Amino acid sequence: MVEFKTISYEAVTVGEEFMSDDFLIKPEDVETFAFAVDDHDPWYFEDSPLEGTIAHPVLMGNQALFMRHGKYIVPAGLHAKMQYEFVEPIRVGMRVRTRGKLIDKYEKRGRHYMVTEFATRDEETGTVLVRGQFTQMLFPKSGVHEDARKR
Amino acid sequence: MPASASTFEVGSELPTLKKTITQRQIDCYSGVRPKSIHTDVEWAKAKGFPAPLAQALMSTAYVSQMMVTWLGTGFIKGGKISASFIKPVIVGDTLTARAVIKSKENDGGRPRVTVECWCENQHGVKTLVGSASGFADQLRM
């Protein structure tokens, strides 16, 4: 059983590993994503030069971002940076899982950040589909940093 | 000059994308739940925002769309994005995604092109800045 702790700069440890649940990519997931980002490229619905339809390369971004929710209560946070490398196409019918590791945490101008590297794989074949790293800002207990609200 | 298969010069700009972001799109992207700055209006306001925020990651989808439209399979297999999210995006904002060709180099015998990319809102404020790259040996347009 997982014992969830509220996430904080003090609670997370460099080297700590994360893992998402596995996720079966269904046709409606691609359709919903296409609506969300208004990208209805026929490669995702009809055919592509890559032996059939594929999915948006960034489809599983949230699976990576939400890995920490498998261990922590995350009241809120802001996403600061994202790096993606697209290795192989994602397709409907794949069962995918993302694994990651906290590779750095730091304080900058009074704010706390955590940096996580990740790889999303096809669970059946072990093929890496997407890898990268992301930086997330951890909110203080009081709420949001004042200047983070400015537009 | 817009970039295409025939004009592929450093300094050329890719065709822009414009996206007006609705709450329903944010809901679909992030999943609706209470106590979310993306999908709970009252919670977003309690956290000091005027309205729910679009998830920053949504903007990388716009960059990806630009690159897939241009490079095709050369982005699907071998593409990269590096993005910094520098200002929040609020529901109802209209973002314009833009990219300018920055360099072309040999990457294992294949031409890799890198663009400087950014998203700006309806006020001209940049919300995402970064770069993206992919192989340009099978341009789609």
Helical H segments across chain A, by residue range? 27-37, 61-65
Q: How far apart are CA A5 and CA A27, in angstroms?
A: 35
B125 and A CB contact within 8 Å: yes
**A17 - beta bridge partners?**
A101
> Would you kindly state where each structural domain of chain B is located, as residue ranges?
17-135
What does the pLDDT look like over B4-20, one tens digit per residue? 544 579 999 999 999 99
Q: What is the pLDDT of residue A148?
A: 58
Chain segment B66-109, per-residue pLDDT in tens:
999 999 999 999 999 999 999 999 999 999 999 999 999 999 99
Among chain A residues, CA nearest to B74: A86
**Cβ-defined contact of B28 to A36 (cutoff 8 Å):** yes
Percent of chain B with pLDDT over 90: 89
B22 phi and psi angles, rounded to 5 deg: -100, 160
- Which of B24, B68, B70 is best to mutate for the A interface (most A CBs within 10 A)? B68
3-state secondary structure B72-140: CHHHHCCCEEEEEECCCCECCCEEEEEEEEEEEEEECCEEEEEEEEEEECCCCCEEEEEEEEEECCCCC
Q: What is the pLDDT of residue B6?
A: 46
Residues of A in contact with B138 (CB under 8 A): 49
The amino acid that residue B3 corresponds to is A
Predicted local distance difference test score (pLDDT) of residue A75: 77
- Find residues 17-36 of chain A whose CB sits inside 8 Å of chain B: 32-33, 35-36
Total Cβ atoms within 10 A of residue A46: 9
Task: Pick the closest to residue B33 from A66, A49, A28 (CA basis).
Answer: A66
Cα B44 to Cα A8, A39, A72, B50, B92: the distances in Å are 20, 27, 21, 7, 14
Q: Which of B64, B83, B138 sits opposite A57 (nearest CB)?
A: B64
Domain ranges within chain A, ordered by starting residue: 5-26+58-140
Q: Contact A86/B75, CB-based, under 8 Å?
A: yes
Please give the Cα distance from B130 to B116 (Å, whole number): 6
Q: Which residues of A touch B87 (CB under 8 A)?
A: 150-151
Q: Is the per-residue pLDDT at B49 higher than 80?
A: yes
Fold of A5-26+58-140: Thiol Ester Dehydrase; Chain A (3.10.129)
From 2.60.40.3710, 1.10.3720.10, 1.10.1040.10, 3.10.129.10, which CATH number describes the B17-135 domain? Answer: 3.10.129.10
Contacts of B78 in chain A (CB under 8 A): 86-87
Name the minimum distance, in Å, from the CA of A9 to any CA of chain B. 19
- Closest chain A C-alpha to B7 CA, distance in angstroms: 23
Q: Is B4 helix (H, G, I), strand (E, B) or coil?
A: coil
